[in-house]
Structure 1
Amino acid sequence: MKITQLTLAATLVVAALGGNAANAATTLVYCSEASPAGFDPSQYTSGTDFDASAETVFNRLTQFERGGTTVIPGLATGWDVSPDGLTYTFHLRNGVKFHTTDYFTPTRDFNADDVVFTFQRLLDPNNPFRKAYPSESPYFSDMGLNTNIKSVSKVDEHTVSFALNQVDAAFVQNLAMSFASIQSAEYADKLLKEGKAQNINEEPIGTGPFVFKRYQKDAQIRYVANKAYWKPEDVKIDNLIFSITTDASVRLQKLKAGECQVSGYPRPADISLMQADPNLTVMQQPGFNLGFLAYNVTHKPLDQLKVRQALDMAIDKPAIVKAVYQGAGQLAQNALPPNQWSFDPSIKDAPYDPVKARELLKEAGVAPGTEISLWAMTVQRASNPNARMSAQMIQQDWAKVGIKANIVSYEWGEYIKRAKAGEHDAMIYGWTGDNGDPDNWLGVLYSCAAVNGSNFAKWCDSAYDKLIQQAKVSPDQAQRTKLYQQAQRILKDQVPITPIANSVVFQPMRKEVRDFKISPFGLTAFYGVSLAPTK
């Protein structure tokens, strides 16, 4: 038999796990698209980071049902809400074990102290752990939770109370999101005493279905099953490996060769090849996502509305959708996907008009040959499967109206870090909703509170902000819809972004994978997943 490089790699994986062919059936390899920036979910906003930590190592007080948007109990078995909507009392699950690893052995079960530590660290800049390991919590802040949570208090060992400054209609959903993953207060105290607080982001300890073992950047992440998991029916594989494979064509090759059982973010051009392979299954569903271009309004000349309008109408978006998404996307005209409640279907794009674009640039005093940077992601996303190609097409469109765009790319973690610092002029980005609520789009991506987080346009409009804040505190969905639709019109008129496409999500895997669910939030989770024996 000819031993190929790929076959040898698969053999080494089995050998490294100390298994034989039978044992290998309980090892699932996921060909992931990028290296995570770290393993503390509170510090990040990217699905790459959440998949590697929140969906494996950690749990939250509440969680979303697998493959759905319904909130169900997690580490909390239930919760009560005060009549005024300002106090939430969570009743915690008994007998939940934190992970035992070669770097930490817990002496007690999960309790209220862990919840209080987790949120106090996020809320209080003077928290001792945060002083020892300075870190930001961008998602927590982008959603305004840092100012809306008045206090988190321990009622007893298995009861915790949250007091809010104002009503938050999506508070329970928010606590099911990755950034709200519960940390071990005992582990944090150990790290603090040892002067190793930063290890919380390198050697994670959680209560989740998989236990972290080892990470080799740009190569692999290894996990083992949590045999003491509080929901044992969700742990059906013994070993989980993230094989970090940035090239989509290599991911396809490894999937077809059986070197990984699940692969992330396929290229649209490869879907038909996967569907024709008798050993593969390709799941699909309408995406809850948006691929878009953000304009940094703090940079000249993008601070001028006429310039943003010109750049927007100079882009031939239908051509991008056709070439980049190849039948797996539809033209986006709004900042929300059509399947998000409160979406306003009356909002329409300005027509593609390079002649008018040139006129607007001239009126704005922008000389032909003006240069701006155009950032393109180096990772594939359902919201944009080929950002580089998108950038090249936008570059050509802008050249026709006298703008010279210089394409810039970085490794994924660096891309996000630099973008949050506002180094870009314009950048290609994508978003998949994280909790089913409109605020997860209109607040997290475009609010004043998110300017230092995921608001990569750095756009802050007081009228817009007032509307989304009013919507967030209203318990009436019809009223919230009305307010959010008014906000969508302001957003469209001010052009901080150019929406490009909403895509279909495809998830390829081997036939032996059982009970995998596509997350509407763009996450990749393996709890509840099993492997059928291979023949």
Structure 2
Amino acid sequence: MRQRKGIWAVVFLLVLSLALVGCAKDKAGNDAKEPKDNDDGKSTEETASGGQLVFGRGGDSTSLDPATTTEGEAFKVTQNLYETLINFGPQDTEIHPGLATEWEQSEDGLKHTLKLREGVKFHDGTDFNADAVVFNFERWKSGTGEEFPYYSSQFGDRIAEVKAVDEYTVEFTLTAPIAPFYKNLAMSPFGIASPAAVEQHGENFFKNPVGTGPFKFKEWKENDRITIVKNEEYWQEGLPKLDEVIFRVIPENSARLNALMSGEVDLIDGVNFSDKETIDGNPDLQVFERPSLNIGYLGLTSTRKPLDNKLVRQALNYAVNKQALIDAFYAGAAEPAINPMPPVVAGYNPDVKDYDYNPAKAKELLAEAGYPDGFEMELWAMPVPRPYMPEGQKVAEALQNMFAEIGVKAEIVTYEWGTYLDKAANGEADTFLLGWTGDNGDADNFLYVLLDEDSIGSNNYSYYKNAEVHELLLKAQASPDQAEREELYKQAQVIIKDDAPWIPLVHSTPLLAGRSDISNFLPHPTGSDLLSSVEYTK
């Protein structure tokens, strides 16, 4: 949010009131400054305000090593501890310089040369340079898909070599072109870590994060709080504005809002859509809308009976009334999902028709599949609120009732968040509520990452596998022609819709809320919010 220029003077009340017409001040009474953009796509300002910000969130991080996790609670923190070679824009997925200042690729798309920013230090005082970049990529490449799931899903075995040409130049050689290569590099999981710290802490590095970001790690009290503090040696002059950020775990959305209203926390995510009117009516609070780049879905594990039968999966799709879910739990701030990616992503296929809400058709398909009396299954409910699923337990209960109408008895199961993700990734769920917030704005990040056979064991929790889809997605991934890529993705969506590995539920517009005097907080569509320019002094 931008503040307008203003003046602050201790004068008589009448003069003061006239002087302040059309002007604004920050909470500390200092002159409010217009943010200015630097060449890195980030905002800086002329003065720092200091202070502490308490960010209330629904769940704890599973790791503070971003390369080892896939969940957004981790990235909320690591986005501020680490930096990537390339940055996204403040509220979009356009690419800008980051730890790399410029880049170029060969005509065949197999070589990428990046010039690195000089004079940057890791939080432990060691130098950021080309050797550090090589170390990180070799570490990720040498691990398994389970250890480094994003590296596996975004790059696989297509990076043949990463070489330090000189101290501040690094060269990537690929075995096949990767069309969204630079957007991949900007994703939170590929934050560059200190090689010295990784070697020092070994398997405990996930609890001892060391990057180059605007904040440094202070402490982690599991299931309670993570504290990060200002990096006094940060390379961007004047940033960060805040002295300290505390990420507090408050699982219930209503409890989190109460904590905001009482002043216990200053900023929250996972706001119930039904609470927006209450927040809007409170002069001490403000609502933030995150640009939508997500999908909430019910995954159908296609290797488990009877969900290995396509007719059964299609029947379950016909049983779900998506609009009823939106009316009940999203207060209209969502739209029914048809495809596995949101309509704002290039390559979305608007011609794909959804399974309409038709319980009679669902029963017909179940009978055709050999289940005229239905069947029993587990339905896993998310234990934490997420932007695409603010009330997972209640959504699960609504789905349970819808499935009961067609004779399918769904037993609701849940686990602690980290366990939930691990067990679902292992294919242990029959059906499971989950979702995805896009990492780079590219169709590859939805379709290939979530539904390609290469992603089974990492992000393809439904264990969906289709050879034709695989061929289409690999071809799209390698093509330098954006129009061709979009056509390939459209073809893949037609096949995926028929195979029905998911029940796509919603694309939501997530809400956050904070104190009214928080400024320059720009929620990012990826869900990874950089807090370096935020100002707030209690």
1:198 and 1:320 map into 2 onto residues whose CA distance is 42
1:43 pairs with 2:68:
yes
Deviation at 1:295, TM superposition (A): 0.3
What residue in structure 2 maps to residue 29 of structure 1? 54
2:531 and 2:417 map into 1 onto residues whose CA distance is 23
What residue in structure 2 maps to residue 426 of structure 1? 431
Deviation at 1:386, TM superposition (A): 1.2
2:465 and 2:146 map into 1 onto residues whose CA distance is 24
CA deviation digits over 1:50-96, x for unaligned, max 9?
A: 1122x111011111122221111111111121121110111111111
> Identity of aligned pairs, percent?
39
**Could you tell me which amino acid in structure 2 is paired with residue 115 of structure 1?**
V
**Could you tell me which amino acid in structure 1 is paired with residue 317 of structure 2?**
D
RMSD: 1.7
1:403 pairs with 2:408:
yes
Deviation at 1:347, TM superposition (A): 1.0
1:173 pairs with 2:183:
yes
1:72 pairs with 2:96:
yes
**Could you tell me which amino acid in structure 2 is paired with residue 209 of structure 1?**
P
Deviation at 1:507, TM superposition (A): 2.0
Residue 292 to residue 371, structure 1, CA distance change in 2 (3 Å): same
Taking the TM superposition and a 5 Å limit, the aligned residue runs for 1:67-466 are 67-100=91-124, 106=125, 108-125=126-143, 136-143=147-154, 145-189=155-199, 191=200, 196-284=201-289, 286-366=291-371, 368=373, 370-466=375-471
What residue in structure 2 maps to residue 510 of structure 1? 515
User: In the alignment, is the contact (CA less than 8 A) between 1:117 and 1:183 conserved in 2?
Assistant: no
**Could you tell me which amino acid in structure 2 is paired with residue 99 of structure 1?**
H
User: In the alignment, is the contact (CA less than 8 A) between 2:49 and 2:242 conserved in 1?
Assistant: no
Deviation at 1:283, TM superposition (A): 2.0
User: In the alignment, is the contact (CA less than 8 A) between 2:388 and 2:508 conserved in 1?
Assistant: yes
2:101 and 2:49 map into 1 onto residues whose CA distance is 35
User: In the alignment, is the contact (CA less than 8 A) between 2:76 and 2:527 conserved in 1?
Assistant: no
1:272 and 1:444 map into 2 onto residues whose CA distance is 36
Deviation at 1:524, TM superposition (A): 2.7
Query: SS state of the match for residue 146, structure 1?
Result: coil
1:49 and 1:253 map into 2 onto residues whose CA distance is 24
What residue in structure 1 maps to residue 3 of structure 2? none
User: In the alignment, is the contact (CA less than 8 A) between 2:291 and 2:523 conserved in 1?
Assistant: no
Q: Which moved more, 1:33-42 or 1:285-294?
A: 285-294
CA deviation digits over 1:421-444, x for unaligned, max 9?
A: 111001111111110111001111
Deviation at 1:135, TM superposition (A): 6.3
Query: SS state of the match for residue 179, structure 1?
Result: helix
CA deviation digits over 1:30-66, x for unaligned, max 9?
A: 001111111110011111111122x111011111122
Residue ranges of structure 1 left out of the alignment (5+ in a row):
1-21, 101-105
Query: SS state of the match for residue 200, structure 1?
Result: helix
1:469 and 1:146 map into 2 onto residues whose CA distance is 11
Deviation at 1:289, TM superposition (A): 1.1
1:285 and 1:416 map into 2 onto residues whose CA distance is 24
User: In the alignment, is the contact (CA less than 8 A) between 2:86 and 2:98 conserved in 1?
Assistant: yes
**Could you tell me which amino acid in structure 1 is paired with residue 499 of structure 2?**
Q
2:367 and 2:497 map into 1 onto residues whose CA distance is 22
CA deviation digits over 1:138-172, x for unaligned, max 9?
A: 111122x1311011111111111110111111101
User: In the alignment, is the contact (CA less than 8 A) between 1:294 and 1:498 conserved in 2?
Assistant: yes
1:158 and 1:24 map into 2 onto residues whose CA distance is 33
Residue 373 to residue 240, structure 1, CA distance change in 2 (3 Å): same
What residue in structure 2 maps to residue 19 of structure 1? none
What residue in structure 2 maps to residue 11 of structure 1? none
2:523 and 2:245 map into 1 onto residues whose CA distance is 18
2:213 and 2:515 map into 1 onto residues whose CA distance is 25
User: In the alignment, is the contact (CA less than 8 A) between 1:336 and 1:343 conserved in 2?
Assistant: yes
1:223 and 1:39 map into 2 onto residues whose CA distance is 12
Q: Which moved more, 1:296-305 or 1:448-457?
A: 448-457
User: In the alignment, is the contact (CA less than 8 A) between 2:384 and 2:417 conserved in 1?
Assistant: yes
Query: SS state of the match for residue 451, structure 2?
Result: coil
User: In the alignment, is the contact (CA less than 8 A) between 1:140 and 1:146 conserved in 2?
Assistant: yes
Residue 135 to residue 420, structure 1, CA distance change in 2 (3 Å): closer
2:524 and 2:139 map into 1 onto residues whose CA distance is 29
Partner of residue 81 from structure 2, selected from 46, 49, 57: 57
**Could you tell me which amino acid in structure 1 is paired with residue 129 of structure 2?**
N
CA deviation digits over 1:487-509, x for unaligned, max 9?
A: 01001011001111111122211
Residue 442 to residue 369, structure 1, CA distance change in 2 (3 Å): closer
1:72 and 1:468 map into 2 onto residues whose CA distance is 26
2:264 and 2:52 map into 1 onto residues whose CA distance is 11
Count of aligned pairs between the two proteins? 492
1:224 and 1:452 map into 2 onto residues whose CA distance is 35
Residue ranges of structure 2 left out of the alignment (5+ in a row):
1-29, 31-47
Residue 498 to residue 212, structure 1, CA distance change in 2 (3 Å): same
TM (normalized to structure 2)?
0.89
Query: SS state of the match for residue 234, structure 1?
Result: coil
User: In the alignment, is the contact (CA less than 8 A) between 1:314 and 1:401 conserved in 2?
Assistant: yes
Query: SS state of the match for residue 321, structure 1?
Result: helix
2:288 and 2:61 map into 1 onto residues whose CA distance is 25
CA deviation digits over 1:377-434, x for unaligned, max 9?
A: 1111221211111111111111111111011111211111111111100111111111
Query: SS state of the match for residue 303, structure 2?
Result: coil
Deviation at 1:25, TM superposition (A): 6.2
CA deviation digits over 1:6-50, x for unaligned, max 9?
A: xxxxxxxxxxxxxxxx99960111001111111110011111111
Deviation at 1:367, TM superposition (A): 5.5
1:61 and 1:443 map into 2 onto residues whose CA distance is 23
